[in-house]
Structure 1
Amino acid sequence: MSRLRALAPLGALLLALLLAACGGDGAPAAAPASLAASTASRAPERVTFMAGFTPQANLPFVGVYVAVAKGYFAEQGLEVEVRHSSGQDEHLKLLLAQGIDFTTGTAAQVLRRRADVVPVVAVALFGQRGDQGYVARADSGIKGPADFRGRSVGFKAGVVPAELKAMLASAGLAESDVKLQAVGFDPRVFIEKQVDVYPVFLNNEPDTIRRVGVPITVIDPADFGVLTLGLTFLAHEDTVKQRPQTVERFLRASLRGVQYASEHVDEAVQITLQYAKGADAEHQKFLLETEIAGAKRAGGVGRSDAAQWQSLEQLLRKFGVLEAGKSVAGAYDGSFVDRLYDAQGKLK
């Protein structure tokens, strides 16, 4: 049997998994009566949300999926069209052209865009820690960045990320102390032992790799003092300034969707599968549960503070991702989400 034919079943499984992925009764409280009354008396406002990737159980995606299914947007007087980016930053291009109203992106992407004077604003932060990490074979002896010395370490998209540089620095290593290796998004390069340390999305490839029978050690940069941030909801600066009520209503409904999904994971996965046709339900559940765990914070999901953003900005500047002198002012506005929670961290 040829090597390619032997790998065919593995490739099919990997392809299926990768395409899927990157109160008393548990129901959130209903919208305040005054707001419900004011929105019920007028025609719904049409809003377009474009997820920044293919359909899958990323938490901000699921929040929207569930809010549509449960009627939370309708209660807020919104008629939300859900779309998904086809790649090549389509979602960001459409947001800038105001062809869509809301999308997703990582906190680091927001800072880079603002440094380039692109008018995007993060209005909610879901990933309280970054979503990218690394894996090594369980029998390799690699437990953390100190063990990277002399090993081949992969990186994606042609650029050594700030997180990897910071991890190496935390262990007293320079880039020259490891064998940096550009890799793609197909984990077979790791499964076939072509690289020792493989970059992953923590909510995705670890499950994929384990499910084809490879025991691994997962290395999360946050566990080694490298604190980054994950996915956000993005809006155009003009939307934030000119349509603040729309932003607040979108966030209120979406965060109710997130709360419901957190309390009804299996149901939320089934709702997700209505968008992610043919996706593996167990993999989607792994993805969602990982995202829920990474979004938890005191005061409520979706919130952030200046210290978090400043820490990320400093990291990106230190390792050359953000140029000196370029301002990132206005990159995030947490006031909308802050107003949605009470003093106990519950949605109003």
Structure 2
Amino acid sequence: MNTTRTALAVGAAAVLLLAGCSGSATGPDGGSTPTGTRGSAVSAERCRQNEAAGKVTYVTGYQFQASASILDPIAAKALGYFDDVCLDVDLQPGTGETAQNAQLVAAGTAKISSIAGNGDVLVNVSNGVDVQAVAMFGHVPVATLMTEPDITDLKQLEGTTLGQKGALPVTIEAMLRTAGVDVAKVKQVTVGFDPTVLVRGQVQSLTGYKSNEPLTLAAKGEKITEWNPEDYGVPGSMATTIVNPQFLAEHRTAVEDFLRAQLRAYSYCEQHADECVADAASLSQAGYDTAHNVQVWQTETKLVDSSLPQGQVLGQIDEASARTEGEFLVQMGQIPAVPDLAEVVVPDLVPSLYSQGQLVWPVP
């Protein structure tokens, strides 16, 4: 794994001195580091600052699915990393409605949340929702369009039925247009989350997520073709973290250390997927498919890691990529203009958590 993505146990001896005789567990670096010991990774002063933030409610993108920016905060809590930095974190399952997550954060009902990507942030901000983006995990669209193998050219979809989840993802629409498809000639219907509607012939194409529906169909032995927006030059992102602007202004150390613990847990879960997914399963209702969710996590971390730009650290968000997506959304008629990114994106927060490309833990 690239060193920019690996959590650093800086000053492990100092941490052990802080922890005294408390229990310890294996950290993401393979060493024995204290976990769940209140304040073991921060100074007494920083601990007080983080405790002053009160309960930090975090809303996931979709339930407790093992996706990037969902599984890692779950693991950070289970591993005791939030306790290590004196944060009281309440994890709440999201419904998958990105607008709802943004509204909860803007209202202060939630302080931090996962949202699908930068494009969703820009759309919500353009609609008057006051949130800021502080982190982003994947520099690639997570959406995909599935067809049966007999479709060899997207123009063949004209005159057929496309299944989507309530709205055609803008990256999928852009891909179709780029491929010369007259989208008006494709009948769109709203379908549920059962991807077998495609292989049963109820629809001839189906939108979904690279880390979900294709895995379900493959597990059933079904052969499909995936059509991905990035192959057509369509920009996108995945797993963006948004915060309430007032909360960030008043409790920046709490936001920093939330992300610090999350990033540390991300590295841990890359090596211990089964354990982290089991933690997510314990929060979910009956019927949680652990095997499928391990695949979800492994698929998404590959997307995240393979799309990380040279010279950037895991979780880093930058105005340039956000602007690219914003200009694309304007071109697609999704927003009237790119919002003032200086007010929307906080590019310096995540890089400040690293030293020489490695996550700083504990906080000096």
Do Structure 1 and Structure 2 share a fold, with TM-score over 0.5? yes
Mapping of residues 307-346 of structure 1, within 5 Å: 307-324=320-337, 327=340, 329-343=342-356, 345-346=357-358
Following superposition, the deviation at residue 325 of structure 1 comes to 7.3
Instruction: Mark the CA change 1:126 to 1:195 in structure 2 (over 3 Å): closer, same or farther.
Output: same
**Structure 1: 4+ residue segments shifted above 6 A:** 23-26, 29-34
Contact 2:41-2:85 at 8 Å conserved across structures = no
One-letter code of the match for 2:314? V
Q: 2:264 aligns with which of 245, 256, 260?
A: 256
One-letter code of the match for 1:98? G
- Residue matched to 1:184: 191
- Residue matched to 1:283: 292
Mapping of residues 94-243 of structure 1, within 5 Å: 94-106=104-116, 107-138=118-149, 140-142=150-152, 145=154, 148-157=157-166, 159-176=167-184, 178-185=185-192, 186-243=194-251
Partners in 2 of 1:43 and 1:167 — Cα distance?
A: 44
Q: Which runs of 5+ in 2 are unaligned?
A: 1-7, 10-25
Mapping of residues 11-22 of structure 1, within 5 Å: none
Contact 1:47-1:81 at 8 Å conserved across structures = yes
Contact 2:59-2:113 at 8 Å conserved across structures = yes
Q: Which runs of 5+ in 1 are unaligned?
A: 1-22
Instruction: Mark the CA change 1:34 to 1:171 in structure 2 (over 3 Å): closer, same or farther.
Output: closer
- Residue matched to 2:359: 347
Percent identical: 26
Q: Deviations over 1:242-293 (max 9, x none)?
A: 2211111111111111111112112211122112343111100111011111
Following superposition, the deviation at residue 66 of structure 1 comes to 0.9
The CA RMSD measured in Å over matched residues stands at: 2.7
Q: Deviations over 1:44-69 (max 9, x none)?
A: 44322121321110111111111111
SS at match of 1:190: helix
State the TM-score, normalizing by the size of structure 1. Answer: 0.83
Contact 1:39-1:75 at 8 Å conserved across structures = no
Match status 1:27 vs 2:28:
yes
Contact 2:57-2:89 at 8 Å conserved across structures = yes
Instruction: Mark the CA change 1:335 to 1:193 in structure 2 (over 3 Å): closer, same or farther.
Output: same
Contact 1:36-1:75 at 8 Å conserved across structures = no
Match status 1:78 vs 2:111:
no
Mapping of residues 38-77 of structure 1, within 5 Å: 38-39=45-46, 44=51, 45-77=54-86
- Comparing 179-188 with 203-212, greater Cα deviation is found at 179-188
SS at match of 2:226: strand
Contact 1:170-1:224 at 8 Å conserved across structures = yes
- Comparing 53-62 with 291-300, greater Cα deviation is found at 291-300
Following superposition, the deviation at residue 154 of structure 1 comes to 3.3
SS at match of 2:359: coil
One-letter code of the match for 2:275? E
State the TM-score, normalizing by the size of structure 2. Answer: 0.79
